[in-house]
Amino acid sequence: MLLSRQTLITPLLVCLCILGIGSLQWPRLQKLLNSQQYTALETLETELAAEKLRLKLLKQLPSFGYDNLIANWAYLNFLQYFGDDEIRAKTGYSLSPEYFEIIIERDPRFLKAYLSLSTSTSLYAAMPERAIALMEKGLKSLSPKVPAKSYYAWRYKGIDELLFLGNAQAAQQSFTAAANWASEYTDDESKFVAFTSQKTAEFISSNPNSKYAQISTWAMVLSNQVDDRTRKRAITAIERLGGQVVTNPDGTNSIKFPETD
């Protein structure tokens, strides 16, 4: 009976701690996020400073064994933060890695978070070094099949290394790792990832400045479920490199490469 009561009380304490931290700093920011009225930049910056403090407190919150709960809660709050285009246009995306530091620390096997980490931190917050460092930390807790299709984490890391840091050697290693992990699966999706990742690694190996490799990597970004801004940026980058994005009748995209690399 005592064990059963403790089992019920512990997660309740975690929830109360999270809600307690949120109640200290979140309501005013929440009000701003829901408001359609003009908000002074100075006020927004004050509220974001408060949100940064709240995230710092959340990092230090004892989990009582419920790390996944905290990671999920942080991810939901990130989605709300990232999705408010009006406010982000004024203040930027500098808090993106703060959410993911919590998520990677609490639940490094939360695979869905890696794509959002790459997009929001490297592409929008312009902090690819921070994104790659967090992914490297998380990858230490992953294996080819735990969680399923964890090869995507290597892909996202390789994308950031090649496109945002220009580190061809590191990107080649990441794409090779993605290909190796994906090759352990037999489904069509994994076979495609193994093939494209291996080809990209080969492009980089033969020519570190390969346009083909960069186009292939932007195509990977385009193939993910990304927002319109990321999609437009990927298409623009491919076109600048001499490639062409062709929309097929079924709504999918195919890439036409330039004649020479």
Q: Which two tokens stand for residue 202?
A: 């080969």
**SS3 label, residue 256:** strand
Q: How many residues can be counted in the chain? A: 261
Q: Rounded CA gap, 222 and 239, in Å? A: 13
Determine what percent of the chain is predicted with pLDDT higher than 70: 85
pLDDT given for residue 58 in this prediction = 85
pLDDT, tens digit (0-9, with 9 covering 90-100), for 9-53: 455 445 545 545 444 445 555 555 555 445 577 888 888 888 889
pLDDT, tens digit (0-9, with 9 covering 90-100), for 131-187: 999 999 999 999 999 999 999 999 999 999 999 999 999 999 999 999 999 999 999
pLDDT given for residue 252 in this prediction = 80
Instruction: Single out the residue of 85, 119, 78, 81 nearest to residue 100, CA to CA.
Output: 78
For 149, other C-beta atoms within 10 Å of its C-beta total: 16
**DSSP class of residue 185?**
-
pLDDT band at 4 (very low <50, low <70, confident <90, very high): very low
Task: Tell me the β-bridge partners of 256.
Answer: 244
Cis previous bond, 147, omega within 30: yes
pLDDT given for residue 86 in this prediction = 86
What are the distances in angstroms from CA 82 to CA 55, 87, 169, 170, 220? Answer: 15, 9, 31, 28, 21
pLDDT, tens digit (0-9, with 9 covering 90-100), for 241-251: 999 999 888 87
Q: Rounded CA gap, 12 and 246, in Å? A: 52
Give the chain's radius of gyration (CA, Å): 21
CB 39 within 8 A of CB 88: no
Q: Rounded CA gap, 140 and 216, in Å? A: 26
Residue 82: pLDDT over 60 = yes
**SS3 label, residue 245:** strand
Instruction: Identify the residue whose tokens are 């359609």.
Output: 36
